[in-house]
Structure 1
């Protein structure tokens, strides 16, 4: 398979990726280099990075285009957070906090953010320790392939309760997870069909307004 398989499709789906194409090329090269040392992504997806990872990640900012301050939980190889950061690269006051407890993965995230000059801050700590300290400093919380939706809401509860929104990329299991979160009663959920994966959704979680 060609190393840039899906590239044109990704750029057609998300034209906003075109201005950062050079940065994404650098990101892809770094990922392939580091993948030889540590497992960052599933090996079969390496050659599909543009569609499977870059375009998929671009959906976060597409769903919440006005948010400039993000925290990403369990950032791993940087999806979706580093793509979000690159999309916001030229926006004033943009900052994306990447939370990844694995020290080697955190090192990779720092290398990519340094080389691409993405507005990213990497926290090599557990999510439970970092997220509460960011409440009031962020307007959005993201995650991809990390945990069930109820667990994501639990982890992000403090910033969500202070008005941040959660934007989470979910697979085919999204429907049951959505029902479970709505049963909690404190949050409302909306979902949008994924533009890159059939059956997947982007779920937006917000604090319910207090009754007047």
Structure 2
């Protein structure tokens, strides 16, 4: 992973971009915290299948997943034109097969992308209650949401009970109580979309 030249090239592109894709602090921690965490997420995803990364921003974790998991058909979704332009440029530069869509999740979820993906990922996008409405509609029945969360994941999950029912989503996995020995392992809440089509 550390020796992956395309991952290094991607990280260099994020840092070199004039578009302020990530904060200065995130730039300082880009490889150790953000790229390696995204790569660790890529390792635990099922496959093959179609994956949508909601709120891709500068490509974390979506671009990293695409680079690490060629068995997944990755689509990156973000509402920012400067970020989607950057992503399109880096996709061409790294010669990786990834689609980029620009739009707000809540606006495009009922369009052609709706109910089209086996997996949806979202990293530091929104609290779970709000995130469910932005992600679950993109999943096929039985599809899985991998939400990378912070330390408040328990509170977010407790507060999202109503939304879980609304979106027919079932909790499949939560972060372990004991921290992982791997410092890059993300905290992931995994949710499964039920079979009620059209919610």
Normalized against structure 1, the TM-score is what?
A: 0.78
Q: Contact 2:49 / 2:73 at 8 angstroms: preserved in 1?
A: yes
- 2:51 pairs, out of 55, 60, 70, with 70
1:81 paired residue number: 62
1:165 paired residue number: 144
1:44 paired residue number: 25
Quick check: 1:106 aligned with 2:84?
yes
More divergent stretch after superposition (76-85 vs 21-30):
21-30
Measured in 1, the distance between the counterparts of 2:43 and 2:158 equals 24
1:100 Cα offset (Å): 1.0
Measured in 2, the distance between the counterparts of 1:192 and 1:82 equals 23
- 1:32 pairs, out of 9, 12, 15, with 15
Measured in 1, the distance between the counterparts of 2:195 and 2:143 equals 13
More divergent stretch after superposition (154-163 vs 50-59):
154-163
Quick check: 1:139 aligned with 2:125?
no
Against the structure 1 CA distance between its residues 182 and 136, is the aligned structure 2 distance closer, same or farther, given a 3 Å change threshold?
A: same
1:192 Cα offset (Å): 2.6
Measured in 2, the distance between the counterparts of 1:99 and 1:142 equals 10
1:23 paired residue number: 6
Against the structure 1 CA distance between its residues 131 and 180, is the aligned structure 2 distance closer, same or farther, given a 3 Å change threshold?
A: same
Q: Contact 2:117 / 2:140 at 8 angstroms: preserved in 1?
A: no
2:107 paired residue number: 129
Q: Contact 2:36 / 2:184 at 8 angstroms: preserved in 1?
A: no
Q: Contact 1:70 / 1:141 at 8 angstroms: preserved in 2?
A: yes
Measured in 2, the distance between the counterparts of 1:65 and 1:157 equals 17
1:197 Cα offset (Å): 6.2
Measured in 2, the distance between the counterparts of 1:161 and 1:137 equals 6
1:180 paired residue number: 159
Identify the structure with the greater strand proportion: 2
Q: How many matched pairs?
A: 187
Against the structure 1 CA distance between its residues 197 and 28, is the aligned structure 2 distance closer, same or farther, given a 3 Å change threshold?
A: closer
Q: Contact 2:142 / 2:194 at 8 angstroms: preserved in 1?
A: no
Quick check: 1:203 aligned with 2:182?
no
Q: Contact 1:181 / 1:187 at 8 angstroms: preserved in 2?
A: no
The two structures, once aligned, show a CA RMSD in angstroms of 2.3
Measured in 2, the distance between the counterparts of 1:51 and 1:44 equals 12
